[in-house]
C-alpha cells in the first residue's frame, strides 16, 4: 500500500520533497511507516522519538492503522507562536 | 470564532474589533512579535511554515478548550506564515468576555497551547546561517486498544 506522506520543516529538507510516497504492508501501522522511513532516510533513525505522525490531521501513536487514502504527515518538533 | 493561518500582516486591533460585543466588558489581546535575538544569537528574520489544514483544525481545538475551561467563546486567533521581519506580528490573539479574568486566561491559554499542539514551525535566519527551531515534540495521545469502544 502506498502512503502519501506530507513532510514539513526539517523533515522536508531531509526528504527534499513536500510529499513523498512510502510503501507499507496492507493494514500497516504508523510503526511500519516509521521503519520504512528509517531504512530510506537513515538520518531519521536517531530522530524518530521527537517526530510525531499525524493521520487524518490527528496525532497518532505507533499502533494506529493507516488505511488507503488517509492523509498522513510527519510532524517534527513544533515552534509556532 | 476566528482561527486562521494567514500570509499577510496581522492587525491585532482588527482581531479585537471582531470579538467585541455589547455584553463583553473585557477584551484582551496578545501579539507575538519577531525578536531580533534567540539563544544569544542575532536573528535577521524568520520563516514560518504551517501544515495549514491541520493547524487551523488544532487552532479550533484550542478555541473549543477555551470555551470549555473559561466559558470564553468570543475568540480570534491568527498565525502568520512566510518570511517575517523583526517586529512583525507572528501570532495575534483577541478574547472577549463579560469580566477581565476569563479574557486574560483565554489569551494566555491560547498562546501556550499553540506552542504545544499546532503544527507550525519557524526557521531562524542569523549571521551564522539558518536553523529550524524545535521547541516542542508532540506526543500522540495514548493509543486505544483495537476493538475496544471509545469512551
**pLDDT, tens only, B46-58:** 999 999 999 999 9
Residue A78 has its nearest CB partner, among B32, B57, B119, at B119
Grid coordinates belonging to B20: 467585541
What domains can be seen in chain B, in order of their start residue?
Answer: 2-132 (3.90.1170.40)
Reduced to 3 states (helix: H, G, I; strand: E, B; else coil), residue B90 is strand
pLDDT in tens, B68-104: 999 999 999 999 999 999 999 999 999 999 999 999 9
Number of domains chain A contains: 1
Which domain, by its residues, includes A18? Answer: 2-75
Provide the shortest C-alpha distance from residue A28 to chain B (in Å).
Answer: 13
Give me the CATH number covering residue A47. Answer: 3.10.20.30
Reduced to 3 states (helix: H, G, I; strand: E, B; else coil), residue A69 is coil
Residues of B in contact with A13 (CB under 8 A): 132
B4 neighbors B77 (Cβ within 8 angstroms): yes
Range scoring the smallest mean pLDDT among B11-20, B37-46, B51-60, B79-88: B37-46
CA-nearest of A67, A45, A44 to A55 is A67
pLDDT at B149: 46
CA pair distance A66, B7, nearest whole angstrom: 32
ipTM: 0.96
CA pair distance B23, B33, nearest whole angstrom: 30
Give backbone dihedrals phi and psi of A60, rounded to 5 degrees, phi first. -130, 135
What letter would DSSP give residue B40? T
Check A63 against B143: CB less than 8 A apart.
yes
Amino acid at each position: 500500500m502506498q502512503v502519501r506522506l506530507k513532510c514539513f520543516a526539517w523533515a522536508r529538507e531531509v526528504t527534499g520533497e513536500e510529499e513523498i510516497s512510502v510503501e507499507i504492508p496492507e493494514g500497516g501501522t504508523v510503526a511500519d511507516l516509521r521503519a520504512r522511513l528509517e531504512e530510506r532516510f537513515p538520518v531519521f533513525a536517531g530522530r524518530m522519538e521527537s517526530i510525531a505522525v499525524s493521520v487524518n490531521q490527528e496525532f497518532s501513536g505507533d499502533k494506529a492503522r493507516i488505511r488507503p487514502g488517509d492523509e498522513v504527515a510527519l510532524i517534527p518538533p513544533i515552534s509556532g507562536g | 470564532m476566528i482561527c486562521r493561518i494567514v500570509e499577510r500582516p496581522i492587525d491585532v486591533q482588527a482581531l479585537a474589533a471582531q470579538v467585541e460585543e455589547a455584553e463583553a466588558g473585557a477584551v484582551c489581546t496578545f501579539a507575538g512579535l519577531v525578536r531580533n535575538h534567540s539563544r544569544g544569537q542575532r536573528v535577521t528574520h524568520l520563516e514560518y511554515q504551517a501544515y495549514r489544514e491541520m493547524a487551523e483544525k488544532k487552532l479550533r481545538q484550542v478555541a473549543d478548550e477555551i470555551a470549555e475551561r473559561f466559558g470564553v467563546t468570543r475568540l480570534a486567533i491568527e498565525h502568520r506564515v512566510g518570511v517575517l521581519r523583526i517586529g512583525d506580528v507572528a501570532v495575534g490573539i483577541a478574547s472577549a468576555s463579560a469580566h477581565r479574568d476569563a479574557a486574560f486566561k483565554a489569551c494566555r491559554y491560547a498562546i501556550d497551547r499553540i506552542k504545544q499542539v499546532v503544527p507550525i514551525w519557524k526557521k531562524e535566519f542569523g549571521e551564522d546561517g539558518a536553523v529550524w527551531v524545535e521547541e516542542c515534540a508532540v506526543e500522540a495521545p495514548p493509543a486505544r486498544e483495537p476493538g475496544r469502544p471509545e469512551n
